Amino acid sequence: MAELTGKYLVGVYDDDDTVLHAVPRLRKAGVKIKEVYSPFPIHGLDEALGHPRTRIGIAAFMFGVTGCCVALTLMIWTMGIDWPMIIGGKDHISLPNYIPITFELTVLFTAFGMVITFFISNGLSPAAHNHKRFDVRSTDNKFVMAIDMGRNSLSEEEISRALRDSGAEEVNIKQF
Amino acid sequence: MHVTSPVREPLVQGGKTYADVTEDICRHVEGAPTKEWKIAFGISLLVLAYGSVCLAWTWWEGLGVWGLNKTVGWAWDITNFVWWVGIGHAGTLISAILLLFRQKWRTSINRAAEAMTIFAVICAASFILMHMGRPWMAYWALPLPNVFGSLWVNFNSPLVWDVFAISTYFSVSLVFWYIGLIPDLATIRDRATSKVSKFMYGTFAMGWDGSAKTWARYEYISLILAGLSTPLVLSVHTIVSMDFATSVIPGWHTTIFPPYFVAGAIFSGFAMVQNLMLITRVVYRLEDYITLEHIETMNKVITLTGSVVGVAYITEFFIAWYSGVEYEYYAFFNRMTGPYWWAYWAMMTCNVISPQLFWSRKLRRSITFTFFISVVVNIGMWFERFVIIVTSLHRDYVPSSWSMFSPTRYDIGDYIFSFGLFFTLFLLFSKYLPVVNMAEVKAVIRSTSANLPKKIGGVAKVRHQGVAEPSYNKDKE
């Protein structure tokens, strides 16, 4: 996010359906869209933009497996190997009693690992509070489409016209 | 998809646009604290101060200041703990289980309910620390090798499970709540005029820009967090109930406890959400967002869980008789007719009878009546825990050690402390953070807004046929 440089065309839409239908139309017309910013999630927008499906679920699963292993290792080692004691006439290693803590640690590791992965993969951090933005109204009521002029072969007028045709109410130029 | 049955009332009323939502919800965050807020906050701080003095004396002097005796070793401390943890179940239930069930009405209340959850769990945790007597030894509950050898905590004990369950529940709920807050913090950051609030909200918004890629990942992790939180929220009160159920005290040693406790937790949690939301919606003028429909739906959940709790009480009683165990039988007979009969019948009246009144549509859509019943339910649920804990303990196996419990001013003062803490935290939250999830509400107003044509399918077609011009929303602007 912080590495934004160059010249951008910024299309501002006032409706989530309009912007969702604009994306395939513009892409068909040969416009390369950098990203769309919206105040709430629009289902299907990431697919329309051609973003690959997120792999954060795989990361979450790995963190979950880690948590599960940590919990079982901790309990089996402390109760069964390091200091075995007979409690309630049960085996030293009595797995049914370990289920609650194994479950809790699996959830804990998954949740924290996944959320930290989410922060890193989106560049979210407390230090990122003054990064560059295309249009601050995208967290209020506008849907903002950014087009990187450095990566498009079409001319400014052509893209601008295509944006307006697709329903954009404003087309602005943003230079970083 | 953008279609809703015309028989349903819209979730958000008043024909709100996206900008209206931002404006309505940000208003109380951006404005100066009102006089009512200052008065309420002042009272909460006074209550907290009084409670803190009582708590300080409890810790200075020791648990002897409580009304405990050799027969009743657990009383108000654990009653309050279980009561607060129970209340702390509604928020995550609303945001996680209702997300999985695609219940869109949750969007207006989930933020405040989750905040309530977090503060209630903090209050519950404070009673765990209190009942330890020496709270500076609290780390002994963690699996650390102790200095007298390499003895470890006992992982077979439900009390240790509880440490893991409560701390996991608290931290995962906090994370879930914070993730939901980030987009709204970004909205406030982008509207902020003063440097201080721009910096503060900007820091906590962590540079959120709402790009399609971020939203896609956000939705994905919200779904996984909901999937994780659903069994988590059920596990917490299950494990709390095992603190009792795995012991051999008559009245505690029952397999019905986990589901019975979970239902009771949801029951009391929803009642507390009702109490807080009924006040919040009036104070912050959120009647268009938290509508009668929301109140009615929550009342239905209260009736359902109240009925589950009622069935559990009766089952418990039946099994005590049917088991043929005289100690078990006596424990329940003593609850009903013993010296604490009034606590038992207060519990039965408040929890079993009062929610049944919500079968009347008129009553469950009455705000005053809902508020009244919510208070009654919370009183009833406090008595439920009191009945389970004190009434089961005070007459044990040996009649010579039978005794009664009566609270001292420190039992009461420490309970008051938790109220002061809870309301102080909730008031701070309601002033400095948006009490309604703006991003989620914006996402549902289109499918439910009163502006939509009242024609089934008319709207859905627009998207399915890929028509680029959605004309139905244009006249709104």
Find the Cα–Cα–Cα–Cα dihedral B50, B56, B61, B67, rounded to 10°.
Answer: 50
How confident is the model at residue B473, as a pLDDT? 43
How confident is the model at residue B452, as a pLDDT? 46
Residues 6 or more apart whose CB falls under 8 angstroms from that of A33 comprise A23, A26, A27, A49, A145, A146, A147
Q: Which residue of B has its CA nearest to A19?
A: B468
How confident is the model at residue A123, as a pLDDT? 86
Chain B residues whose beta carbon lies within 8 Å of the beta carbon of residue A163:
none
* Residue B106 main-chain phi, psi, to 5 deg: -65, -25
Mean pLDDT, residues A60-65 = 95
- CB-closest option in A98, A122, A141 to B22: A141
- CB-closest option in A1, A56, A129 to B221: A56
Give the relative orientation of helices A95-121 and B158-191 as an angle to the nearest 10 degrees. 10
**Cβ–Cβ contacts within 10 Å for residue A84, how many?**
12
- CB-closest option in A45, A118, A129 to B212: A45
Query: Is the backbone of residue B102 left (phi > 0), alpha (psi -120 to 50) or beta?
Result: left
**Edge-to-edge strand ranges of the sheet holding A143-148:** A35-37, A143-148, A7-13, A170-175
CA distance B155 to A84: 12
How confident is the model at residue B106, as a pLDDT? 86
Contact B184, B175 (CB under 8 A): no
Size of the A and B interface in Cβ pairs below 8 Å = 205
Q: Which pTM does this prediction carry? A: 0.90
CA distance A142 to A134: 11
Pairing of strands A170-175, A35-37: unpaired
pLDDT classification of A125: cutoffs 50, 70, 90: confident
Closest C-alpha among B392, B307, B386, B301 to residue B351: B307
How confident is the model at residue B5, as a pLDDT? 59
Alpha carbon A98 to its chain centroid, in Å, reads 34
**A130 close to B (CB below 8 A):** yes
pLDDT at A88 over 90: no
Residue A145: strand, helix, or coil: strand
Which of B20, B179, B215, B230 is the mutation pick for testing A, counting most A CBs within 10 A? B215
Chunked into runs of 10 residues, chain B (477 residues) has average pLDDT values of 60 83 88 90 96 94 92 92 92 85 85 92 93 88 76 89 93 93 92 88 89 91 91 92 90 90 92 92 88 91 94 92 90 92 94 93 92 94 94 89 93 95 94 91 69 40 40 41
Residue A105: strand, helix, or coil: helix
pLDDT at A139 over 50: yes
CA distance A16 to B301: 33
pLDDT at A142 over 70: yes
- CB-closest option in B187, B215, B443 to A140: B187
Pairing of strands A143-148, A170-175: unpaired
Which of A28, A38, A40, A117 is the mutation pick for testing B, counting most B CBs within 10 A? A40
Output the CA–CA distances (angstroms, integers) from residue B419 to A136, B7, B110, B416, B455, in the order listed: 40, 41, 21, 5, 49
In what helix (H) or strand (E) does residue A35 lie, and over which residues does it extend?
A: strand A35-37
pLDDT digits (tens, 9 = 90+) for B65-123: 999 998 999 999 999 999 999 999 888 888 888 888 888 888 888 899 999 999 999 99
**A73 close to B (CB below 8 A):** no
Residue A14: strand, helix, or coil: coil
pLDDT digits (tens, 9 = 90+) for A4-35: 778 888 999 988 888 898 899 888 888 888 88
DSSP structural state of residue B211: B
Contact B420, B49 (CB under 8 A): yes
Contact B190, A140 (CB under 8 A): yes
**A98 close to B (CB below 8 A):** yes
How confident is the model at residue B275, as a pLDDT? 92
